Structure 1
Amino acid sequence: MHDGSFSSYTLGITPFGSTIPLKYLSLLVLVVQNSALILVMRYTRASVPDDQLYLASTAVVMSEVIKGLACVGLLHYSGPPHQRSLQRLTSLLHRELITNWRETAKLGIPATLYLIQNNLQYVAATNLDAATFQVTYQLKILTTAFFSVVILKRSLVRLKWIALGLLTFGIALVVLPKDASAAAMAYLIGNNEDVSTLDQQSTVNINDVGNQSNAKGFFAVLMACVLSGLAGVYFEKILKAPATKPMPEVVNTRMDEEAAESLVEGNKSTSASDDGMDGGNSGRGTAKRVVVVDHDDDDDDNDDNADGQGGIGLRDIHGRREDVMQTQQQNQLWVRNLQMSFFSILLGLIFVVMLQDGATIVQKGFFVNYNSLTWLVIAIQAFGGLVVALVVKYADNILKGFATSISIILSSLVSVWFFNFTLSGTFILGTALVIYSTYLYGL
């Protein structure tokens, strides 16, 4: 029954999941998410006058609002249907966000880093074409590896160091100015008279770009990659921190919450929580003990246990405990994302929206220049991270690297067709090295 996937009530897996293998479904989701965000974001930001651009600061905040609401919904529907209630959800949120405020406060640092990173993505999408943005953004692999070695004290094998070297060299070729790369190629093949012509053409092309500034875009990508690597490693360190107060769980699949609460009040020695199935202890480590509730219920249709008595049979304990542990692990992901969204919304409204665009918002409104594509970008950014965080469970490193490679190729082709992007020789060579190094790093 338990093959490593989550239970059906935890994820709501439908027969569709059995039609397409989950690893290939993960590949499809990763490709779509990696490509769609950059392409749509670039489309909504490229060659648009400054007075017609929507505010990136408000878009980032709205993305965090949607992501937070999605996490609340996922927490509500994470348990079995008979245990879903507003009271249970409120109790869980109060405990995780307020009672355990020390754990919540730890997420303030990565939330701040991700907030700045998301704003920098809009700056990069405004100033760089989608293909260049997609390739150079893979520099986050290098920054993540660097912070993993420095903060988590990891050691990388020689193959990964080679992959990181190829990645750096490939990105250097991609960011090389087109006129410089073309002049170098012309010099190598002996067409020196074309160099001055290339310089004149490049000057004209730069003037036709509109509000694009390559230098500003490359700096934004570089800073976004640094912040992404630091935030990711710091977040991983928080998740892997040793638990301080492990709590037991009540495995109770047929009693309602009030009955479970009465049991707890009558049996203080167990120190069991009445909402163990909701994963509320997920942020405090794995339970050491499982309290099995034995009871009789004439209205229950599932009383024919292995032992022929009311209650939970011994052979069911391990399977149901696995369901509890899987629910806990999944809830921890939603709780952590909700905590980071809380800080991102708060800090984003105060230090980004109000300080940076407060005058514009007072004059034109919070949703100035929003349209359907703006909301599409916000939705992809909000749900993309949650979906990817969920499906990467089924995808190994090689498959994730393959998805990234397909995304880079797809973004480059779409940029040629829709954004009049020109593929230079150095760009193709650099992109090939980035794709190969991504695959090599995942081995």
Structure 2
Amino acid sequence: MADSTKNAAANTANGTEEAGKGSAGTAKKEGASVVFKLYCLAVLTVMAASYTVLMRYTRTVEGVRYYSTTTVFVTECAKMFFTLCILLKEHKGSIRKVTQELKGNIVGKPMEMLKMSVPSIVYAIQNNMTFIGLSNLDAATYQVTYQMKIPCTALLSVMMLGRSLSSMQWIAVFVLTGGVILVQGIGGEAVSHTSGTEGSYVVGLTALTIAVFCSGFAGVYFEKLLKGSDTSLWVRNVQMYTWGMLSAFLGVVMHDWQNVRENGFLYGYTPLVWLVVLLGSGGGIYTSIVVKYTDNIMKGFAAAAAIVLSTVASIMFMGLVVGWMFVLGASLVIAAIFLYGLPKTNTEKLPARKSGTAQNV
């Protein structure tokens, strides 16, 4: 994954430098860009849809219910493990070089570590809220409603990154909002269940609202830190996951410590739960790659495709029944996501990076 990212970033940078030298350079740039975006689209779509459906299944259908706080902590540990493996590979297996780099950027830069505590803590809150949301809402309703993170992220991008959105993008935001209202069916009647555990609709929706804001804020804040400095993507991830592990463990102590002491830390874990952990950790790492190298068009396509896949999976395996309001609302949401990604102009006003920086990540 790391090699593919570096190669795609290098090809994109080379294509940019040759943009004025003729059609050959332009074609090269566009070809690399399309291939990389399609690759990102496929991975994001599969991970998002699979993670949503499997998490919902393990929280409502399977027998013994595991503790969501411990799953969040284990996922953060897995992210750290995979990130350290990538760093070790980039340094050709030299533990000494990895240690020196981490020491210089973590111990030697305490203020940078402090900055990274913000998104990691917010992400930990978001992860716990998504567990609560999925425990009380079906996967399809969760997936569509969670797309409210797009207007939330748009507003925060304007305020925090100085971006300007086109009129088409703002129209897409309102279309998206209308679609989500239809999906909710004014009381949740757009979606009914034929199997599984029923939960509290209000609790699920409230938790999801908190998760949406956390997702938007943490994502924009992390993007600002990531693109505003020359620090390696993987070093940034180590900084963030260090705080993420601490905040996630605090969540275990505050909410489930007594249960953990009585039944064990991994109580209720099955192969499917471990698969949820794997998808969550892989998705978290891949999200940082997407933030670094791609744009909202890619995220929009992935989100739209994930809605379709998770809905089909819920109908096939979890007895979900959808009404016409859900179908209409979901169609508006998908249309809005595509509409939001139509403008191809760069609306980002972050400081320009030095030439070749992307290749050093």
Same fold (TM over 0.5): yes
Aligned ranges 1:2-151 → 2 under 5 Å: 6-7=6-7, 21-47=35-61, 52-79=64-91, 81=92, 84-151=93-160
CA gap 1:408/1:341 in 2 versus in 1, 3 angstroms = same
SS in 2 for 1:107: helix
Alignment of 1:213 with 2:227, yes or no, is: no
Distance 1:390 1:152 in 2: 19
Pairing 1:365–2:352 present? no
- Structure 2: distance between partners of 1:238 and 1:392: 11
- The answer as to whether partners of 1:163 and 1:437 remain within 8 angstroms in 2 is yes
The C-alpha deviation readout for 1:373-412, integer Å capped at 9, x for no partner, is 1110011000112234436777664444222222111111
* Cα distance change, pair 176–7 in 1 and its aligned pair in 2 (3 A): closer
Q: What residue identity is the alignment partner of 2:70?
A: T
Structure 2: how far apart are the matches of 1:47 and 1:391? 32
Question: Does the 8 A contact of 1:131 with 1:415 survive in 2?
Answer: yes
* Change over 3 Å in CA distance of 1:394–1:115 after alignment to 2: closer
Query: Shift of the alpha carbon at 1:159?
Result: 0.7
Alpha-carbon distance between aligned partners in 1 of 2:111 and 2:65, rounded to the nearest angstrom: 39
1:403 aligns with 302
Superposed counterparts of 1:276-295, under 5 Å: 282-283=230-231
- Which residue, out of 241, 246, 265, partners 1:346? 246
Gaps in structure 1 of 5+ consecutive residues? 11-17, 183-201, 244-281, 284-331
Which shifted more, 397-406 or 224-233?
397-406
Report the alpha carbon displacement of residue 177 of structure 1 after superposing the two structures with TM. 4.7
**TM-score, normalised to structure 2's length?**
0.81
Whole-angstrom distance in 1 between the partners of 2:56 and 2:120: 24
Q: Distance in 2 between matches of 1:48 and 1:357?
A: 20
> Residue in 1 aligned with 2:254?
355
User: 1:58 and 1:23, CA in 2 relative to 1: closer, same or farther beyond 3 A?
Assistant: same
Identity of aligned residues (%): 37
- Contact in 2 for aligned 1:29/1:388 (Cα 8 Å): no
Q: Which amino acid aligns with 1:6?
A: K
8 Å contact 1:45–1:126 — kept in the other structure?
yes
Distance 2:201 2:101 in 1: 47
Residue among 205, 220, 224 paired with 1:233: 220
Which residue of structure 1 aligns with residue 320 of structure 2?
421
RMSD over aligned Cα atoms: 2.6
Match of 1:159 among 168, 180, 194: 168
1:422 aligned counterpart, secondary structure: strand
Give 1:415 shift: 0.9
Which whole-Å CA distance do the structure 2 matches of 1:68 and 1:95 have between them? 18
Secondary structure of residue in 2 paired with 1:440: helix
Give me the whole-angstrom Cα distance separating, in 2, the residues matched to 1:180 and 1:417: 20
Q: 1:400 to 1:426 in 2, by over 3 A?
A: same
Following the alignment from structure 1 to structure 2, what is the Cα–Cα distance between the partners of residues 150 and 392? 18
Given that residues 59 and 65 in structure 2 are in contact (C-alpha distance below 8 angstroms), is that contact kept between their aligned partners in structure 1? Answer: yes
Structure-2 change in CA distance of 1:355 and 1:233 (3 Å): same
Query: What is the distance in 1 between the residues matched to 2:112 and 2:141?
Result: 38
Q: Deviations over 1:416-443 (max 9, x none)?
A: 1111111111100100010011111111
Instruction: Structure 2 unaligned segments of length 5 or more: list them.
Output: 11-31, 343-361
TM-superposition CA deviations, 1:268-304 (whole Å, max 9, x none): xxxxxxxxxxxxxx42xxxxxxxxxxxxxxxxxxxxx
C-alpha distance in structure 1 between counterparts of 2:303 and 2:140, whole Å: 12
Aligned positions of 1:226-375 closer than 5 A: 226-241=213-228, 282-283=230-231, 332-350=232-250, 352-375=251-274
Report the TM-score when normalising by structure 1. Answer: 0.66
Task: Count matched residues.
Answer: 316
Q: Distance in 2 between matches of 1:211 and 1:338?
A: 38
Are residues 363 and 5 of structure 1, via their aligned partners in 2, closer, same or farther at CA, if it must alter by over 3 Å?
A: closer
| Alpha-carbon distance in 2 for matches of 1:211, 1:346 | 32
Amino acid at match of 2:221: Y
Relative distance call for 1:105 and 1:388 in structure 2 (3 A) is closer
Whole-angstrom distance in 2 between the partners of 1:45 and 1:110: 26
> Cα gap change, 1:432/1:211 in structure 2, threshold over 3 Å: closer, same or farther?
closer
Q: Which amino acid aligns with 2:281?
A: A
